[in-house]
Amino acid sequence: MERITMLGTGHAMVFDCFNTCFVYENENGKMLVDTGGGGQLLGQMRKAGIDDWDISAVYVSHRHTDHIMGLPWLFRGLGRDRKLKLYFHEDVMRVATGMMELLFPDTMESLPEGVEFITVRDGDTAEILGRHVEFMDLHSPNVPQFGFKLTLEDGGAMVFHGDVPFHEANRERITGAEWLLHEAFNLSTEKMGPPPGGKGGPPPMGKGGPGGPPPGGKGPGHSTVKQAASYARSLRVKNLLLFHGSDNDIQNRKAAYTAEARTEFDGPIYVPDDLEVIDLT
Residues at the contact surface with Zn ion, assessed by CB under 5 A: 12, 66, 163
Residue 108 vs 187, nearer CB to Zn ion: 187
Q: CB within 8 A of 252, min separation 6: which ones?
A: none
User: Of 143, 134, 145, 141, which is closest to residue 172 (Cα–Cα)?
Assistant: 134
For β-strands 239-243 and 277-279, DSSP reports them as unpaired
Residue 72 vs 202, nearer CB to Zn ion: 202
Question: Minimum distance from CB of 200 to Zn ion (Å)?
Answer: 14
Please say which residue, 13 or 50, places its beta carbon nearer to Zn ion.
Answer: 13
Q: Nearer to Zn ion by C-beta: 35 or 107?
A: 35
Greatest Cα-to-Cα distance within the chain, rounded to the nearest angstrom: 54
Q: How far is the CB of 164 from Zn ion (least distance, A)?
A: 9
- End-to-end Cα separation, the chain, in angstroms: 7
- Specify whether the CB–CB gap between 48 and 275 falls below 8 A: yes
Task: Tell the smallest beta-carbon distance from residue 33 to Zn ion (Å).
Answer: 13
Instruction: Name the minimum Å distance from CB 76 to Zn ion.
Output: 23
DSSP string, 133-189: EEEEE---SSS--EEEEEE-TTS-EEEE-TTS---GGGHHHHTT-SEEEEE--B-TT
For residues 22 and 7, the answer to whether their CB atoms sit within 8 Å is yes
207: left (phi over 0), alpha (psi -120 to 50) or beta: alpha
Residue nearest to Zn ion (CB): 163
Closest to Zn ion by CB, 26 or 166: 166
CB of 17: closest distance to Zn ion in angstroms?
13
- Please say which residue, 66 or 247, places its beta carbon nearer to Zn ion: 66
Min CB(12)–Zn ion separation in Å:
5
